[in-house]
Amino acid sequence: MKNKKSELGVCYYPEQWPDNLWADDAKKMADIGLSRVRIGEFAWSFIEPEPEQFEWAWLDRAIDTLAEQNLSVILGTPTATPPKWLVDAYPEILARDRDGRVRGFGSRRHYCFSSPVYRRETARIVETMAERYGAHDAVVAWQTDNEYGCHDTVRSYSEAARDAFREYARQRYSTIDALNEAWGCSFWSQRYRDFSEIELPNLTVTEPNPAHVLAFFRFSSDQVVSYNKLQTDILRRLSPGRDLLHNFMGFFFDFDHFDVSEDLDAVGWDSYPLGFLDVAPFPYADKERYLRQGHPDLAAFHHDLYRACGRGRWQIHEQQPGPVNWAEHNPAPLNGMVRLWTAEAFAHGAECVNYFRWRQAPFAQEQMHAGLERPNGSPAPAFNEAKEAAKDIASLKKIDPKPTSPVAIIFSYDAAWLFETQPQGGTWRYPAIVFEWYSALRRFGVDVDFIRDTDDFNSYHLIVCPSLPILPDSFVARCANSTAKFLFGPRTGSKTREYQVPPDLAPGALRELIPLTVTHSESLPEWRRENATLHGAEIAGKTWLDHVETELAPIAARDDGAGLWFREGRVSYLTTLPDEVFLGLVMHAHLTDAGVANLLLPPDLRIARTETQTFAFNYGPDQTEIPEEIAPRGGVYELGGDRLGPASFAVWNHT
Ligand code: GAL
């Protein structure tokens, strides 16, 4: 089952089509250069239409039909859609939302991760499927479930979740006094006498205790991890040698994707650049400029984050092919974008890109979602783009792996939950901050890795940490023992593991690296700017301001002396979130100081490098030129050239 590199594939739902179409579909897939097909992830009621009565004939035939065209199969476990008979037999498997309402049957993801009955039923269906197809030659990989957490389903407020949370609390705190202490239960008379008194942190009159909420978020993430592991343990046993995968989502942080990935062989994610641009809080100007391309850093951000989760191995399970159905507005991509997105994924190290989906469904929830084919089987625009993408891969012959980047960003899911719990300012959005800093680095043409706060820091020249409220135990020692330069943002070191203010105030243990103490902090409205000048440029801080006591002279300060940027040796601390100009100056200074070659790119251009190749992508609506410093004129391009029209890209060898 060797994993081939740079493959194209498609998501296919044989159960939704008459079986006399399958052979022709499979042939067309192979003809346009696809080699993988993802099937099965919503097919439970077709596999087991009645309890314990299995219908395999159709799935056997579907897999064989694909295999006849040399298409390999990623088989999904169907647990995202428990059938009606199962729900009726065991209504306790259903999740409950924050308001306590049952999440009913009729769409998907209605189960609760904590339900022991659902875990039992999951094990049963996964085992049965793995016994049947685990050794099938065409089945090269499994996808567990589908998009954990989609439709806000990580956190369930069911009885099963409450019982499991009580057990989690008992394990974590051992005694109820320890829990009372950790959560600060002397406040508002919250003392508990026993773990059996602990409720879930919903339906309170006002804000629940943040330590309680954070504990619940951590618990909910762990439930996803153990639920996924339930499946991977079975699949590893019954289907050895196959890659175990899951498809993550964009801009989604409700569980720790690093933790879930530890039980997977490679990570997948579902890339819908136009849908995400529409639903995420991007400035209006970006939404307008990139309406039909997606934000230039949006796909890349997730490619890099999930490459980190997959320890280098990742792929796209679902690539947007045209308008989707689920955003508020659903424009069509510019001609060429589907092909560009495909190439960009490979430039960031993807092993495979699967388009979602083969043929647009004429019925049900996603009937307005494009596919490679229209509902009547005629080719949609993405059909030809997929074909072009297959030719791109063939003409490049080989796309090399992505090496370790010189720059890393520390990303923490725990930080995301902590700030979500008590943001202390409506404009403080941790994932958006990380994205903004990532984007600022990418504007300088550098490749970026994501790392965890528990990783080794030695491979990097520059480590950027937009904020890390809780510093893990060995964090400061690992910084001190590395040779990297560090850039920390505000609120770093501002909380203890149990969501309290550190005894010696923020930035806690970080003070060993940079001698300052945060005496108080302010959060600021969207429109407020803390103005200063730096090297003659007008700069500003926004969103947040830490006021510090320190002997250090600030590198940048407000007119009244309040420091915005401090530095000691290899370590910088920003007391505020820099505006665009300030952020650019800070990143440029740090890249240069860390010895990382960089060049400010034209605004719509992005670069990504494999070991030997450089890819350049034009995300803008106009033509742009690749700067000479990056691609020497007269150089030999493997694809494209110096000048890039809208939605086009170039590739050249940089060795
Ligand atoms: C994903 C999901 C698919 C399909 C797709 C539509 O979130 O995994 O099943 O719903 O979105 O864009």
User: In the predicted model, what is the mean pLDDT of residues 249-261?
Assistant: 98
List the structure tokens of 298: 């949006």
- Residues 121, 142: Cα–Cα separation, whole Å: 18
DSSP 17: S
- Residues 605, 439: Cα–Cα separation, whole Å: 12
DSSP-derived pairing of the beta strands 613-618 and 649-653: antiparallel
Contacts of residue 574, defined as CB under 8 A and 6 or more positions apart, other chains included, come to 487, 488, 489, 490, 541, 564, 565, 586
- Convert the pLDDT of each residue in 434-482 to its tens digit: 999 999 999 999 999 999 999 999 999 999 999 999 999 999 999 999 9
Ligand 1 centroid–CA 585 distance in Å is 39
Dihedral of alpha carbons 631, 634, 640, 642, sign: positive
The answer on pLDDT for 58 being more than 50 is yes
The answer on pLDDT for 5 being more than 90 is no
pLDDT for residue 221: 99
- Convert the pLDDT of each residue in 580-597 to its tens digit: 999 999 999 999 999 999
| Choice among 7, 41, 318, 385 that is catalytic | 318
Cβ of 369 closer than 6 Å to ligand 1, yes or no, is yes
Give a three-class secondary structure readout of 426-495. CCCCHHHHHHHHHHHHHHCCCCEEEECCCCCCCCCCEEEECCCCCCCCCHHHHHHHCCCEEEECCCCCCC
DSSP-derived pairing of the beta strands 605-609 and 613-618: antiparallel
Atom of ligand 1 nearest to the CA of 41: 9
420 is catalytic: no
Nearest CA to ligand 1 atom 12: 324
- Residues 464, 121: Cα–Cα separation, whole Å: 44
Single-letter amino acid code for the residue at 364? A
The answer on pLDDT for 375 being more than 50 is yes
Cβ of 318 closer than 6 Å to ligand 1, yes or no, is yes
pTM across the whole model: 0.98
Q: Which of 438, 440, 442, 449 is nearest to 403 (CA)?
A: 449
Atom of ligand 1 nearest to the CA of 147: 8
Q: Which of 286, 284, 295, 214 is nearest to 250 (CA)?
A: 295
| Residue 165 pLDDT grade (very low, low, confident, very high; cuts 50, 70, 90) | very high
pLDDT for residue 2: 36
The answer on pLDDT for 4 being more than 60 is no
pLDDT for residue 92: 98
Beta bridge partners of residue 518, listed in sequence order? 548
DSSP 201: S
The answer on pLDDT for 370 being more than 80 is yes
State the CB neighbour count (10 A cutoff) for residue 91: 12
- CA separation (Å) from 552 to 149, 361, 569, 572? 45, 63, 11, 11
pLDDT for residue 1: 34
Among 318, 320, 360, the mutation site with the greatest number of ligand 1 atoms within 8 A of its Cβ is 318
Among 41, 108, 146, 356, the mutation site with the greatest number of ligand 1 atoms within 8 A of its Cβ is 356
User: In the predicted model, what is the mean pLDDT of residues 83-104?
Assistant: 98
CB 524 within 8 A of CB 501: no
Cβ of 48 closer than 6 Å to ligand 1, yes or no, is no
Cβ of 150 closer than 6 Å to ligand 1, yes or no, is yes
Beta bridge partners of residue 111, listed in sequence order? 94
Range with the lowest mean pLDDT among 264-273, 394-403, 522-531? Answer: 394-403
Cβ of 373 closer than 6 Å to ligand 1, yes or no, is no
Radius of gyration of the chain from Cα atoms? Answer: 25
Query: Which value, to the nearest 10 degrees, does the dihedral of the CA atoms of residues 190, 194, 196, 197 take?
Result: -20
Q: Which of 433, 506, 507, 496 is nearest to 253 (CA)?
A: 433
DSSP-derived pairing of the beta strands 571-574 and 556-557: unpaired
- Residues 418, 412: Cα–Cα separation, whole Å: 10
Nearest CA to ligand 1 atom 6: 324
Beta bridge partners of residue 615, listed in sequence order? 608, 651
Single-letter amino acid code for the residue at 58? W
List the structure tokens of 373: 């084919």
Atom of ligand 1 nearest to the CA of 320: 12
Ligand 1 centroid–CA 38 distance in Å is 13
Nearest CA to ligand 1 atom 10: 366
Beta bridge partners of residue 252, listed in sequence order? none
Ligand 1 centroid–CA 592 distance in Å is 42
The answer on pLDDT for 488 being more than 70 is yes
CB 479 within 8 A of CB 454: no
318 is catalytic: yes
pLDDT for residue 3: 40
| Residue 559 pLDDT grade (very low, low, confident, very high; cuts 50, 70, 90) | confident
List the structure tokens of 443: 């504007």
Phi, psi of 260 (to 5 degrees): -60, -40
Distance of CA 492 to the CA centre of its chain: 22
Atom of ligand 1 nearest to the CA of 317: 8
User: In the predicted model, what is the mean pLDDT of residues 348-363?
Assistant: 98
Nearest CA to ligand 1 atom 1: 270
- Burial tier of 46 (Cβ tally within 10 Å: 0-12, 13-18, 19+): middle
pLDDT for residue 446: 98
Beta bridge partners of residue 353, listed in sequence order? 8, 316
Atom of ligand 1 nearest to the CA of 365: 10
- Residues 372, 365: Cα–Cα separation, whole Å: 18
Cβ of 402 closer than 6 Å to ligand 1, yes or no, is no
List the structure tokens of 71: 């298409």
User: In the predicted model, what is the mean pLDDT of residues 357-373?
Assistant: 98
Cβ of 143 closer than 6 Å to ligand 1, yes or no, is no
List the structure tokens of 277: 């641009």
**Which SS3 state, helix, strand or coil, does residue 180 take?**
helix
List the structure tokens of 566: 């401090």
List the structure tokens of 551: 């002997």
Average pLDDT over all residues of the chain: 97
List the structure tokens of 226: 């153990």
Cβ of 270 closer than 6 Å to ligand 1, yes or no, is yes
User: In the predicted model, what is the mean pLDDT of residues 406-422?
Assistant: 98
The answer on pLDDT for 300 being more than 50 is yes
The answer on pLDDT for 169 being more than 60 is yes
- Residues 304, 527: Cα–Cα separation, whole Å: 31
State the CB neighbour count (10 A cutoff) for residue 5: 15
List the structure tokens of 442: 């990418």
CB 616 within 8 A of CB 599: no
Cβ of 147 closer than 6 Å to ligand 1, yes or no, is yes
- CA separation (Å) from 641 to 63, 373, 508, 604, 652? 41, 31, 51, 16, 9
| Choice among 7, 121, 147, 530 that is catalytic | 147
| Unique residue bearing structure tokens 């023992």 | 481
CA distance from start to end of the chain = 32
Beta bridge partners of residue 637, listed in sequence order? 652
CB 469 within 8 A of CB 488: no
Cβ of 324 closer than 6 Å to ligand 1, yes or no, is yes
